[in-house]
Chain A
Amino acid sequence: MTVVTTGDWTRARPQPNWLARLFDYKPFLVLACLTPALGLLLVFLTYPLGLGIWLSFTDTKIGGAGKYIGIENFEYLLEDPQFWGAVFYSVFYTGVATFGKFALGLWLALLLNNHVPFKSLLRAIILLPWIVPTVLSALAFWWLYDPQFSIFSYVAVDVLGIRSTPFDFLSTTWPARWSLIAANIWRGIPFVAISLLAGLQTISPSLYEAALLDGSSAWQRFRYITFPLLLPILAIVMTFSIIFTFTDFQLVYAITRGGPLNSTHLMATLAFQRGISGGELGEGAAIAVAMIPFLVGATLFSYFALARRKWQQGESDD
């Protein structure tokens, strides 16, 4: 008797159709959910990454299949002063720009961490350089660096009278290099400042109060409270910043295109010049592949910084 009633009760439930049941079957659902993302990433990221490494060992040109030539591309690059110039400038550009971005960005974050009026408006304005497409702000910098009509030259020569000739921003090697670094720092400050500001706001004010009671100086509070507690987030932001500065392309391509005399080529712009404009896909791929060791180094740095953070906060690895 009781058996029959339970049977009736089960039958009374609305039965989902086979499609709904299929989508409720967990292994299938997991697979279905991961397919779009993983499919896109495998086809347009993992496969090209492997293909790029393969291409760097071939003499492929645009419009023709290449054949395997071993490490000939790399041997050629090792003796190519232009390649070494690009490696040098990439490292120099990344080093100086990262230092500048973090010094100024940290300063800006500390300033914004004070109680200032219109804080959210300020924050919104400060992020603008980061929102605007790089190429478009790079064009503005190009115009600001114009040999004849640069506003900086106008101010220095005609208003302040501290120079007799206009600045020469982009036509010689070192000024061009520094001008590009300045533009990169300008664009990078907002990201660093806003990320670090978020880190600063997680630091409990009671720590500062305790330190104040102990009679600490402002520098001691920064050195022994702010900096150590900011270090984990600083490490992550720095890793991202290093990776994206090292592989920067837009700024240099828009302002100098690697000139004057190829002195401002980054590895990415050189790879583009050789690989796409010059048609030597194999050689361009070899230059791109040569960037990978640097990126792996930065990633390992990030991994260990993250591990350290979890250890500090006593979190379990999840």
Chain B
Amino acid sequence: MTDTAAVPEGKATATVAPDQMAWDSRTRRLVTIYLPLALFVFVLLFPFYWMTITSFKPNAELYDYKKYNPFWIGSPTLDHIEKLLFGTAYPRWLMVTMGVAICSTALSLFSSVLAAYAIQRLRFKGSQYVGLGIYLAYLVPPSILFIPLATTIYQLGLFDSPLALILTYPTFLVPFSTWLLIGYFKSIPYELEECALIDGATRLQILRRITLPLAVPGLISAGIFSFTLSWNEFVYALAFIQSSEKKTVSVAILTELVSGDVYQWGALMAGSLLGSLPVAIFYSFFVDYYVSSLTGAVKE
């Protein structure tokens, strides 16, 4: 979408300034655009490069920069990953994180579709205030909630259970998804629903047969966004889960793998790499939806 918008623009500037010498403008572009851009990409990617290279380096190379070039791997090894997968509960943590992320995403998608439909399409009295309330809920960060939430979770008997995470993650997923979906529903012509109403469809039939199929891109965006946000969540998982085998990846790496004074950097970086891969892969399939949801939410 953005590319098609940018192409005519680029052509336009080329025709606007034909008097500039081609060579001059090319060097100028190189210095003012490509060089800074390359620098940005380098800085933004370097930590990942470092993470990757560390997780495949044997310990001998890892702690000896004099003898081995630190920027490259002399003899790549899978030791760290093997140790992580078979020597720790890492696969289990991955499964827990995956399960929690999928369940909380499903739960919040379900609730936000219904809420967004009610607010945007059913247009009851005071619907805008409900919408505003949900928007304000997005501005309440987990950092000020985790202490009272911990006591609430304890009272509900959910402490140290993944269910606690599945139920609390929607507090930051639902406001976001609802706003995103309200925006999508707004873009669907209301006339379509009116036609269906005249044909005798019930409201729920309209939602299922007409509105939802048309809002699929919005649903995908909200789903991906929720999934990455749940995967990323840390404070609640740290505060509500105690037993080692129920921890999520982020928490487990920090509390179970970081131990003593000597850090196993190879294993730690391998853990970070493996923990990032699922979201990164998931994200790479749906980049455009992700970008549109990010920018759509901001524009709303």
Q: Which residues in A have some Cβ–Cβ distance to B below 8 Å?
A: 13, 16, 20, 23-24, 26-27, 29-30, 32-34, 36-38, 40-41, 43-49, 51-52, 55, 60, 104, 107-108, 111-116, 119-120, 122-129, 131-137, 139-141, 143-144, 146, 149, 151, 154, 158, 186, 189-191, 194-195, 197-199, 201-202, 205, 209, 212, 233, 236-237, 240, 243-244, 247-250, 253-254, 267-268, 271-272, 275-276, 281, 284-285, 288-289, 291-292, 295, 298-299, 302, 318
Contacts and interface: CB of A to CB of B under 8 A. Distances in A.
A250 B152 CA distance: 22
B144 A149 contact: no
Nearest to B284: A124
B51 interface: yes
Contacts, number: 305
Contacts of B117: 33
A281 B147 contact: yes
A198 B6 CA distance: 12
B174 A41 contact: yes
Given A38-B130, A114-B10, A131-B283, 8 more contacts: A52-B148, A55-B147, A115-B13, A122-B37, A125-B44, A186-B44, A249-B143, A299-B139
A243 B141 contact: yes
In the A-B complex, list the 6 residue pairs whose CB atoms are closest, starting with the nearest: A115-B10, A198-B295, A36-B111, A33-B118, A37-B115, A52-B148
B26 interface: no
Q: What secondary structure prevails in chain A residues at the interface with B?
A: helix
B280 A201 contact: no
Contacts of B239: 272, 276
A157 to B, nearest CB: 10
25 contacts: A29-B204, A30-B118, A36-B114, A38-B115, A48-B145, A49-B144, A49-B148, A122-B37, A123-B2, A125-B41, A126-B44, A131-B283, A133-B250, A133-B276, A135-B254, A140-B47, A143-B50, A189-B40, A195-B298, A197-B295, A233-B299, A243-B139, A247-B141, A267-B143, A276-B146
Contacts of A281: 147, 150-151
Interface in B78-123: 107-108, 110-112, 114-115, 117-119, 122
B44 A128 contact: yes
Contacts of B212: none
Contacts of A36: 110-111, 114-115
Nearest to B141: A247
Contact of A119 (B2, B150, B175): B2
Interface string B243-281: 000000111011000000000010011011001100110
Nearest to B130: A34
A273 B272 CA distance: 24
Nearest to A39: B111
A149 B65 contact: yes
A136 B272 contact: yes
Nearest to B150: A276
A133 B16 contact: no
A129 B63 contact: no
Contacts of A26: 122, 124, 203
B139 A137 contact: no
B161 interface: no
A115 B155 CA distance: 57
B72 interface: no
B7 interface: yes
Contact of A45 (B108, B115, B137, B203): B137
B186 to A, nearest CB: 9
Nearest to A40: B170
A48 B294 contact: no
A265 to B, nearest CB: 13
B124 to A, nearest CB: 5
B234 interface: yes
A20 B202 contact: yes
Contacts of A139: 253-254, 268-269, 271-272
Contacts of B29: 114
A199 B175 CA distance: 22
A37 B178 contact: yes
B235 A249 contact: yes
B251 to A, nearest CB: 8
Contact of B143 (A115, A135, A186, A271): A271
B134 A133 contact: no
Nearest to B167: A44
Contacts of B144: 49, 52, 247, 268, 271, 288-289, 291-292, 295
A133 B122 contact: no
A23 B251 CA distance: 43
